[in-house]
Structure 1
Amino acid sequence: MMIARRADTRARADFATWKMIAKLNGASGLPPAAQEFLASYKTRLTDMSEHEATEATIREMYKAYYAEMGGGGAPPEVKPVTAEPVTDNVTAFRKLPTKPKTAQGGPAAQRKMPVALIFTGLCVVYVGIRMYWQ
């Protein structure tokens, strides 16, 4: 059954890719097997709806892939997983909730050291080290 699922997944992915390449006028660069499947798809479109022609072509590809992957006998029926249709994929922006301010009396209320004082202290340490090594 694992081979069957892989073959079905590969057939669906390959067909979607090949169909898109054909729409972009690049079908001549596809392998001969892909061109054959696309040609059979186009002939099926004259007799069936697009969905039916797509499924029939994918089933044909699935059978070929199943045999190619080492599946024995007739390929089992694999039911495709139908995804729920997406109705709305837009998320509305929401304003983030405000963070509560901390109380003005704890360690967070201490005044931070100015940048100039830190820079001056580092310069004094640097000069001190240079003088010590000389």
Structure 2
Amino acid sequence: MVIKAADMLIARRADTRARADFATWRMMAKLNGASALPPEAQTFLTSYKKLSEKMEDAEASEATIQLMYRSYYAEMGGAGAAPEVPARAREPVTDTGTVTAFRRLPAKPKPGASGLNAKRPLPVALIFVCLVVVYVAIRYYWR
């Protein structure tokens, strides 16, 4: 079966949306805010709870996300069955309990007046003289 590029784009969007929505809804459920979720979210969370009783948490999460993905794929206008989206390679998260401080980048040296390629600013008087020459040339041309 050949998958069109447009369908693959829809599939990636649907997968990303499903993963983000599931994480958000799950966090809201942990914070006792599940009643504020839309009915669709509540049904997905109910199916997640049923699956988590039968299997491990990671497997139940992935199964629920796949269910949401198929639903979103059809909702977004994907043709046919939802294609398999390749999993992204992620680095394992290790919680060391330490916080990495962000470092500022070193300041870029300002270009100084000294140097071979340094441009000298034009004197104001030279600019004024050029403007006067242009003005006189235009006036002379029009006569």
The within-5 A match list for 1:64-83 is: 64-83=71-90
Partner SS for 2:79: coil
CA deviations over 1:11-53 (Å, ceiling 9, x no partner): 0000000000000000000000000000000000111000000
> Runs of 5+ in structure 1 lacking a partner?
95-134
Give the whole-Å Cα distance in 2 for the aligned partners of 1:62 and 1:4. Answer: 8
Which residue matches 2:107? none
Q: Does 1:14 align with 2:21?
A: yes
Q: Does 1:47 align with 2:54?
A: yes
Give the whole-Å Cα distance in 2 for the aligned partners of 1:93 and 1:50. Answer: 34
Question: How many residues end up aligned between the 2 structures?
Answer: 94
Partner SS for 1:79: coil
Higher Cα radius of gyration = 1
Could you tell me which amino acid in structure 2 is paired with residue 13 of structure 1?
A: A
Could you tell me which amino acid in structure 2 is paired with residue 28 of structure 1?
A: S
Give the whole-Å Cα distance in 2 for the aligned partners of 1:18 and 1:83. Answer: 22
1:28 to 6, 30, 35: 35
Give the whole-Å Cα distance in 1 for the aligned partners of 2:69 and 2:48. Answer: 14
TM-score, normalised on structure 2? Answer: 0.61
Percent identical pairs in the alignment equals 69
Which residue matches 1:61? 68
1:37 to 18, 32, 44: 44
> Runs of 5+ in structure 2 lacking a partner?
1-7, 104-143
Residue 86 of structure 1 and its aligned partner are, at CA, apart by 3.8
- Change in Cα spacing, 1:73 to 1:93, as seen in structure 2 (3 Å) is closer
Could you tell me which amino acid in structure 1 is paired with residue 74 of structure 2?
A: A
